[in-house]
Amino acid sequence: MSVIQRHNIKLAGIGPATMVFAHGFGCDQNMWRFVAPAFEGGYRTVLFDHVGAGGSDLSAYDPQKYASLDGYADDVVELCRALDVRGGVFVGHSVSTMIGVLASKKAPELFDALVMVCPSPRYIDDADYEGGFSEAQVHELLDFLDSNHMGWSHAMAPVIMGNPDHPELGEELTNSFCRTDPEIAKSFARTTFLSDNRADLAGVTARCLVIQCSEDVIAPRSVGVYVHSNLRNSELVLIDATGHCPNLSAPEATIAAMKAFL
Amino acid sequence: MSGPQEADDLEDLFENAPCGYISALANGRISKANRTFSTWTGYGSEQLVGRRFLDLLNIAGKIYYETHFAPLLRMQGFFNEVALDLVCADGTTLPVLVNAVVRRDDTGGVRFIRVTVFNASDRRRYERELLEARRTAEQASIALQDLNATLEARVAERARALDRAWRLSRDLLVIARADGVLTQVNAAWTEQLGWQASDLVGQSFVAFTHPEDLAATQAAFAGIFEAPLTKPYEYRLRHADGSYRWFAWTGAFEEGEVYATGRQTTAEHEQAALLAEAEDALRQSQKMEAVGQLTGGLAHDFNNLLAAISGSLELMQTRLSQGRLNDLDRYMHAAQGASKRAAALTHRLLAFSRRQTLDPKPTDVNRLVAGMEELIRRTVGPSVHVETVGASGLWPALIDPPQLENALLNLCINARDAMPDGGRITIETANKWLDERTARERDLPPGQYLSLCVTDTGTGMPPDVISRVFDPFFTTKPAGQGTGLGLSMIYGFARQSGGQVRIYSEVGQGTTMCLYLPRHYGAVDAEEAPYALSTAPRTEQDGTVLIVDDEPTMRMLVTEVLEELGYTAIEAADSAAGLKVLQSNVPIDLLVTDVGLPGGMNGRQMADAARVTRPDLKVLFITGYAENAAVGNGLLEPGMHVLTKPFAMEALASRMKSLIKD
């Protein structure tokens, strides 16, 4: 299966440069539905699903490869090369901001600019670093996932990928914008919330935009400030929005910040 | 329904519905919560208003709400049946199912978000139980799969091991149908018989069986259906090269097929054949040796007798020429006596061949033994103490008395020979009642018998000797000293008389030989046949000669010659008696002795012993047998001479004369 199919890649827009949108933990490329169209006029836009999410090829999921963010970054490099991306813009949300950092370090020629929406290089507090979660809280999350609760399965896998065991789960339960395989989501959560990419920030050469929400339980302000101050060439924009998804809750502000940066 | 009443009703429904209702503003902050929700969570309405819904969730709920459900709500305007845990005011957790929907106004602006919360405590418990049951089932399934895998692995391992055993066996392994057609064979068949499996499978074992073994083999094969063949059955199988090989087979019949194992025994058969050949050769050489012994022994005996007869005739001729007719009777009797003994000798030979005519008579064995005692004593010599223990009330036996005497004497002579350094001979009689079992052991009909046992304190015999003592020609004595027929003749006599001979012997302890004799039911005649022992006359003359010979006629003849020559003769019948004379102070000018002598020593040994005290003793060996070894392999010491029987009396006389004169 080609990398295009593997990642359910959707291309749109016309422009000299390519803008690649990468979704974070929890959803798929739909996350960008209010933002990406705004750039189709000036860019070739690329939307894709990480392996294990949305319309990606689930059979390509390799627990070992995706146990670290490097595996996801390798995918980004691979798909960008397949699409002949050079000097483009990488727009990442949440954990994908760090995937973009890793990808741009692996292949600096791909991106001239990185847009980081609600980034976090480490979720767990560490000495002076305030990641937003105590180690106990992250383990509570992982334990909860490991309990493999049915309710979570229902919630996580609204379409359950055509799960034959649950044909009764009809459209009324279809949380169809956020398709994810519950087992893969568990692994992705583990990879995400145990990651620590603080040291990777230093080597980034591309220009960076850090978009930080004013009230975000997952990536608190202090984290945005940390990221910004550890990137050589970055700007920090604070959007007055609640939650972790300004691309959904405040798409206009997000688009404006991006356009201003670009 | 009027307005206020309806409003009250709706208010009641909102507040007390069986689910929690929350209204939130566009920014997610709670504007209103019903009483049911307050009751479940323990938060008062005033504590809830202004907070965000996700603030009420546990950490996992917060994260998932933020990463999954909030985006959903944004994108599709609702989410349904999301399982979350609310953290209540008292710190406990309330499992809930949450639905949320965004209510918009006509312009598309968010009016409020309606959140409906169902208490999922029961459902969550069922789910937990269901999950637990599923986990258990999965574990059981995994365990079962493991077990299956283990079993499969074991079965496979076992199959491999069996296959290995089948493949590596050096013995022939075969599975055959009940009709004898081979269905599976192992590689040993190729190795041991040169046949490929394809040559064998589909063929009956009959096709490979030696024709001579076929009937027995088919019978053995048929037997396997009755009972497993555990005692190896041997037969010959044809090798691909046409030769035959021996195999010892065991086998069993199970579930319609015969399983058998064949071990090659060709080498053992070849060895057995070689051994049998060697044994045959050995027997033949033993027979030749025995014939040699017999011939020598007979020649010795007959020469003695012939010497006596011809000597008598010669002296008769001399007397006739001298006109001394009144002495003729003596020589005639001597010749006749020698002839009778020669006849007795042939009789003994016939007894050995068990073709003699026995004349069984009721016999008082105690009396017979008593009558023999003196003779036995003299025969065995002074170094052997003879003791007789006759049972009182001994039954009469039905036997041929002279043959029994002969047997008893022979037993005593054997006993003596077993005690070269002297010892004790005990002659015992007893009544024996043999029951069924004992009789069977003794190979006799059950009933009443007498036993006559001769026990010595001699060297005893090892079992391999015991097993052969009755064989004709078997002897442990040096050549010329026995025909090897003694015990054989005793055995022949005992069996012919309806009795048996038994031997009890222990090396170093001694031997008991027992004759079992059939009981005579009735009285015994008072008749008795006493043994008269001849005593030689002695006269003092110019010289004294000691003559030692077990043949009385020989002694008489030599004595006659000596008296003719004017010498004094002293007679002794065996080496012991001879040595006694030699060790006394009696002056002896010449020792004339037979070489083969009873009494524990041969003539040479007696002479050597005598020369210890009489170093210059002159010795003339007269022998009827070329006992070179006994005399000294022809290397005689000075003063020792040999005269071979038969000889002319004249030759003897001149020889003795010249020796005494030297």
SS3 B67: helix
SS3 B459: coil
Q: Closest residue of B to A246, CA-based?
A: B71
What pLDDT is recorded for position B349? Answer: 63
Cβ-defined contact of B67 to A173 (cutoff 8 Å): no
Q: For the segment B236-266, what is each residue's pLDDT rounded down to a tens digit?
A: 999 999 999 999 999 999 999 999 999 999 9
Helices (H) and strands (E) in chain A, counts: 9, 7
Q: Which of A7, A74, A216, A228 is catalytic?
A: A216
SS3 B230: strand
Measured in angstroms, the CA of B13 and the nearest CA of chain A are apart by 25
Per-residue confidence at B632, pLDDT binned at 50, 70, 90?
low
Best of A31, A178, A191, A252 to mutate (most B CBs within 10 Å, chain B): A178
Q: Closest residue of B to A123, CA-based?
A: B63
Which of A24, A144, A154 faces B60 most closely, judged by CB atoms?
A144
Q: For the segment B114-158, what is each residue's pLDDT rounded down to a tens digit?
A: 999 999 888 888 877 887 888 888 888 888 888 888 888 888 888
> Which two three-digit tokens encode residue B332?
């005639």
Nearest CA to A252 out of A234, A240, A243 is that of A240
Taking contacts as CB-CB distances below 8 angstroms, the residues of chain B near A178 are: 68, 71-72, 75
Q: For the segment A113-152, what is each residue's pLDDT rounded down to a tens digit?
A: 999 999 999 999 998 999 999 999 898 888 877 775 545 5
Average pLDDT of the segment spanning B197-215 = 93
Provide the 10 A C-beta neighbour count for residue B453: 18
Which amino acid is located at A239 in the chain? I
What pLDDT is recorded for position B196? Answer: 93
Q: For the segment B157-195, what is each residue's pLDDT rounded down to a tens digit?
A: 888 888 888 888 999 999 999 999 999 999 999 999 999
Q: Indicate the length of chain B as a whole number.
A: 662
What pLDDT is recorded for position A165? Answer: 41
Average pLDDT over chain B reads 83
What pLDDT is recorded for position B483? Answer: 47
Q: Which of A7, A23, A50, A244 is catalytic?
A: A244
Taking contacts as CB-CB distances below 8 angstroms, the residues of chain B near A172 are: 80
Q: Which of A50, A93, A94, A228 is catalytic?
A: A94
Average pLDDT of the segment spanning B595-609 = 83
Provide the 10 A C-beta neighbour count for residue B117: 25
Per-residue confidence at B291, pLDDT binned at 50, 70, 90?
low
Among A187-201, B37-51, B558-572, which is the least confidently predicted range? Answer: B558-572
Residues of chain A short of pLDDT 70, as ranges, are: 1, 148-180
> Which two three-digit tokens encode residue B106?
């006509």
Instruction: Tell whether the model's pLDDT for residue B9 goes beyond 70.
Output: yes
B335: left (phi over 0), alpha (psi -120 to 50) or beta: alpha
What are the structural domains of chain B?
10-119 (3.30.450.20), 169-264 (3.30.450.20), 353-518 (3.30.565.10), 544-661 (3.40.50.2300)
Residue A94 known to be catalytic: yes
Measured in angstroms, the CA of A202 and the nearest CA of chain B are apart by 27
Per-residue confidence at B2, pLDDT binned at 50, 70, 90?
low
What pLDDT is recorded for position B253? Answer: 94
Nearest CA to B621 out of A76, B610, B613 is that of B610
Best of B30, B54, B62, B66 to mutate (most A CBs within 10 Å, chain A): B66
Cβ-defined contact of A151 to B28 (cutoff 8 Å): no
Checking A77-81 for CB contacts under 8 A at 24+ apart, the result is A77/A103, A77/A106, A77/A107, A77/A110, A78/A3, A79/A3, A79/A4, A79/A7, A79/A9, A79/A46, A79/A48, A80/A18, A80/A20, A80/A46, A80/A107, A80/A110, A81/A107, A81/A110
Nearest CA to B87 out of B125, B54, B120 is that of B54
Which of A176, A189, A245 faces B74 most closely, judged by CB atoms?
A245
Among A170-174, B216-220, B415-419, which is the least confidently predicted range? Answer: A170-174
Cβ-defined contact of B79 to A175 (cutoff 8 Å): yes
Torsion of CA B335, B337, B343, B344, to 10 degrees: -150
Cα distance between residue A155 and residue A178, in whole Å: 10
Q: Which residues, including other chains, have CB under 8 Å from residue B314's CB and lie 6 or more apart?
A: B648, B649, B650
List A residues 5-34 in contact with B (Cβ-Cβ < 8 A): 24-27, 30-31, 33
Side by side, the strands of the sheet bearing B568-572 are B568-572, B544-548, B590-594, B619-623, B640-644
Q: Which residues, including other chains, have CB under 8 Å from residue B636's CB and lie 6 or more apart?
A: B642
What pLDDT is recorded for position B49? Answer: 94
Measured in angstroms, the CA of A148 and the nearest CA of chain B are apart by 8
Which stretches of B2-41 are DSSP H helices? 3-16, 35-41
What pLDDT is recorded for position A159? Answer: 33
Cα distance between residue A141 and residue B538, in whole Å: 142
CB A112 within 8 A of CB A87: yes
Measured in angstroms, the CA of B72 and the nearest CA of chain A are apart by 6
Instruction: Tell whether the model's pLDDT for residue B536 goes beyond 90.
Output: no
Instruction: Tell whether the model's pLDDT for residue B328 goes beyond 90.
Output: no
Cβ-defined contact of B75 to A141 (cutoff 8 Å): no
Crossing angle between the packed helical segments B401-417 and B328-352, to the nearest 10 degrees: 80
Instruction: Tell whether the model's pLDDT for residue B533 goes beyond 70.
Output: no
Report residue B550 CA to chain centroid gap.
47
Q: Could you tell me if the ipTM is greater than 0.90?
A: no
What are the structural domains of chain A?
3-122+197-261 (3.40.50.1820), 135-188 (no CATH)
Cα distance between residue B385 and residue B496, in whole Å: 31
What pLDDT is recorded for position A156? Answer: 44
Average pLDDT of the segment spanning B511-533 = 68
Q: Which residues, including other chains, have CB under 8 Å from residue B134's CB and lie 6 or more apart?
A: none
Cβ-defined contact of A177 to B68 (cutoff 8 Å): no
Nearest CA to B416 out of B331, B538, B511 is that of B511
Taking contacts as CB-CB distances below 8 angstroms, the residues of chain A near B80 are: 172-173, 175
> Which two three-digit tokens encode residue B613?
């005290």
Exposure string of B510-548, with b = 16+ CB inside 10 Å and e = fewer, is bbbbbbbbbbbeeebeeeeeeeeeeeeeeeeeebbbbbb
Does A169 contact chain B (CB < 8 Å)? no
Instruction: Tell whether the model's pLDDT for residue B278 goes beyond 90.
Output: no
What pLDDT is recorded for position B323? Answer: 84
Residue with tokens 């593997």: A6
Provide the 10 A C-beta neighbour count for residue B200: 23
Nearest CA to B287 out of B475, B492, B490 is that of B475
Taking contacts as CB-CB distances below 8 angstroms, the residues of chain B near A137 are: 59
What pLDDT is recorded for position B251? Answer: 93
> Which two three-digit tokens encode residue B223?
């037997």
Cα distance between residue B117 and residue B127, in whole Å: 18
- Return the half-sphere exposure (C-beta side, CA atoms, 13 A cut-off) of residue B653: 15
The DSSP 8-state label assigned to residue B66 in this structure reads: I
What pLDDT is recorded for position A215? Answer: 86
